[in-house]
Amino acid sequence: MFHSYYLFDISRNKPEMAELVPWGINPQLMNLMIGLGAGVITGVIIGLLALAGAKLLKKEAGSKSEATL
């Protein structure tokens, strides 16, 4: 949502900046592709960190329960 606002603001104030999108792609489409790509990459990184943290906590919980026996 913020990307769309800034793209609109840039195109209104400096139209030559909005025309600098490579390969003649519509600026809104380029904005959508970049936003989706960034979201997917960020999601994968956060998911991998959560998975590593879960495995670490599971390993620590297992060693503590064995120590109390």
Which residue range(s) make up the domain with 47? 2-68
pLDDT bucket at 50, cuts 50 / 70 / 90:
very high
Contact 5, 27 (CB under 8 A): no
- Give the Cα separation of 16 and 29 in Å (integer): 17
Lowest mean pLDDT among 16-20, 47-51, 56-60: 16-20
Residue 24's pLDDT band (cuts 50, 70, 90): confident
- Per-residue confidence band for 6, with pLDDT thresholds at 50, 70 and 90: low
Per-residue pLDDT, 28? 75
Q: What is the largest CA-CA distance in the chain?
A: 72
Helices (H), 1-69: 2-13, 15-18, 27-68
Name every residue whose Cβ is closer than 8 Å to that of residue 34 and which is 6 or more positions away in sequence.
3
| Measured distance CA(28)–CA(63) in Å, rounded | 52
Per the structure, how many domains does the chain have?
A: 1
* Global pTM value: 0.60
